[in-house]
Structure 1
Amino acid sequence: MLKYFGADANFSLEGQVAIVTGGANGIGKATTTLFLQKGVKVVIGDYKSDVYDVAKEFGENCLGVQIDVTKDSDRKNLVKQTLDKFGKIDILVNCAGMVALDSAVDVKDEDWDALLAVNVMGTFKMNQEVGRYMIENKINGSIVNIASQAGTIALDKHVAYSVTKAGVISMTKILAFEWGKFGIRVNSVSPTVVLTEMGHKAWDGPAGDAFKKEIPSGRFAETDEIAGPIAFLCSGAAGMITGHDLLVDGGYTIK
């Protein structure tokens, strides 16, 4: 006879409150859409000014806050507005990020600085801000950080970007190790090329066509194909998963 330990086979997220950075577009917007469909109240933090219009379109269970994740005051304001509006935080999804690609001999110092500030420190500081709240308030929360397949394998002209995403993966494991005793799960998701606005800009054309031939599935990912795994990791069905980097790459990294 099977014994069950509380895993939620319905993957329910009903009644939870989530912060999604970078939630006004791309993977973040797809995640926000899915969360709302599953009964989650969502606060979108995004650097774009249209975050307010995006949140308004989603309805009363969504709040938009303009934020620069590199600024301490913005991060604190995002948490405060979430608590003021919805009273708690159960989930944090860090989708905010940036990319700059160049060869290792040509990569610019300012690109390194910007990538490290947003992808590494911005992600860490959001983890720290929300993690501190969860610990102090005994919240059994879930955090998902968006990394990349570039954090696991070597890709041409990706040195600075790849280093930052490898940092996110390492960060995720350490936070999971430290915060597991508080009931907080921390995981990362590492997509292949995703057909966001940035994905189309970088990979439409011959280079993208050639890259897709190296992926066993033969294509790039759609944003909802990343949102689904994020929602799974935040659900009770993933209650024993923490410190894991989930590659959503159509099999590219199995080579």
Structure 2
Amino acid sequence: MAGDDVVTGMFGERPLAGKTALVTGASAGLGRHFAKLLARTGANLIIAARRADRLDATRAEIEGAGGACRCITIDLTDMEAIAGLEGELGAVDVLVNNAGASRAAMALKVREADWDVALDTNLKGLFFLSQAFARARKAEGKAGAIVNIASITGLRQGVGLLPYHVSKAGVIQLTKTLALELAPAGIRVNAIAPGSFPTEITAGFWESPAGQTMMARIPQGRLGEFADLDGPMLLLASDASRYMTGSVIVVDGGHSISGL
């Protein structure tokens, strides 16, 4: 079966019909893919990122396919901007925290600015947006779902991206702790931890000797395709996961269990 057919067979054609979803980092890469996926499966979309022109391109694709979408230009390192969103988050059913940032540097060469770029966007901004969402939903007396995009680098170790790895480990712990605290309010918090996927950030790396060596360690012998994340995303964003919270779904072709 084709990817769309598999997803439809698992969840039905419109498992998110009637839901409103907010996807951060939706101007490119996985965020753009997730936004289009959720719109295609019935959600009304709010997409957020820093780059207004690229957000408009995502919106145009979604609306061109018959979906409903609006844009919010926001920098998730701006706490005042996040606080300003709380008033409208009560109408959002699903929050997908996908926005991320990183700078490559070995540990002894990491600068404060490198640290701040990763931690402020990937962890601090994610937390305070989640907090605003949870406050708004609780005030409305409504349940909700948060899906955090973590990484297998939050579960394992690597070199050259220490602040990013630390931030993703924090996302995993944050997911579990928020899930514990928000369960009584009916707000579920889960995460997806992708392995190696081709993105703008890694363009060219996978053709390099180092990239080829890393790919050889993936038991399934290939990089992930964005469609490989569709099932986990729809599971966690929809009521199909109504008894799941605090879960981290690893999607990595077996990379994190590869042999020594």
TM over 0.5, shorter chain: yes
Q: Which of the numbers 50, 56, 61 marks the counterpart of 2:60?
A: 56
Q: Which amino acid aligns with 2:41?
A: K
* Equivalenced residues, count: 244
Tell me by how many angstroms 1:201 deviates.
4.5
Q: Where does 1:88-99 land on structure 2 (aligned, <5 Å)?
A: 88-99=91-102
Taking the aligned partners of 1:74 and 1:141, their CA distance within structure 2 comes to 22
Q: Does residue 223 of structure 1 match 2:223?
A: no
Q: 1:104 to 1:148 in 2, by over 3 A?
A: same
Map of 1:33 onto structure 2: 36
Q: Which amino acid aligns with 1:251?
A: G
Deviations 1:43-81 (A, max 9, x none): 00011122123213321611111110111232244455x
Q: 1:220 to 1:79 in 2, by over 3 A?
A: farther
Query: Unaligned 5+ residue runs, structure 2?
Result: 1-9
Deviations 1:154-199 (A, max 9, x none): 1122321111100000001000000001111001111112212123
Map of 1:23 onto structure 2: 26
Taking the aligned partners of 2:93 and 2:27, their CA distance within structure 1 comes to 20
Runs of 4+ in 1 over 6 A off after TM superposition: none
Q: 1:24 to 1:224 in 2, by over 3 A?
A: farther
Q: Which of the numbers 225, 234, 239 marks the counterpart of 1:236?
A: 239
Q: Secondary structure at the match of 2:103?
A: coil
Taking the aligned partners of 1:187 and 1:122, their CA distance within structure 2 comes to 17
Q: 1:41 to 1:9 in 2, by over 3 A?
A: closer
Map of 2:79 onto structure 1: 72
TM-score by length of 1: 0.89
Taking the aligned partners of 2:185 and 2:114, their CA distance within structure 1 comes to 36
Deviations 1:178-223 (A, max 9, x none): 0001111001111112212123244342221111100011111122
Q: Which amino acid aligns with 1:36?
A: A
TM-score by length of 2: 0.88
**Does the 8 Å CA contact 1:92/1:144 hold for their aligned counterparts?**
yes
Taking the aligned partners of 2:86 and 2:202, their CA distance within structure 1 comes to 29
Query: Unaligned 5+ residue runs, structure 1?
Result: 1-7
Give the aligned CA root-mean-square deviation in angstroms: 1.9
Of the structure 1 ranges 236-245 and 193-202, higher mean CA displacement relative to structure 2 is found in 193-202
